[in-house]
Amino acid sequence: HEHLIIYCHHGMRSQRAAAWLRQHGFRNAQSMRGGIDAWADLIDPAMPRY
């Protein structure tokens, strides 16, 4: 099964969107915890932010 990863800046909106998608039949929808900001911290803390 493929995963459907939803992300936003901090992870709150994507969490709601993933929940909505799961309620509508997309069982593999997931939110990226912490959003793109947390991902950037793990990959490159010096990465410019908006």
Q: For residue 22, give every residue at least 6 positions away whose Cβ sits within 8 Å of its Cβ, in sequence order, or none.
A: 29
Identity (one letter) of the amino acid at 25? Answer: G
Model confidence at 16: pLDDT above 90: yes
Q: pLDDT higher for 19 or 50? A: 19
Domain count, the chain: 1
Confidence of residue 7 (pLDDT cuts 50, 70, 90): very high
| Residue 16 structural domain | 4-43
pLDDT, tens digit, for every residue of 30-40?
Answer: 999 999 999 99
Residue 50 lies in a domain: no
**Looking at 4-8, 9-13, 45-49, which range is the least confident one?**
45-49
Q: How many CB atoms lie within 10 A of CB 27?
A: 8
Whole-number pLDDT of residue 48: 85
Residue 30 lies in a domain: yes
Residue 48 lies in a domain: no
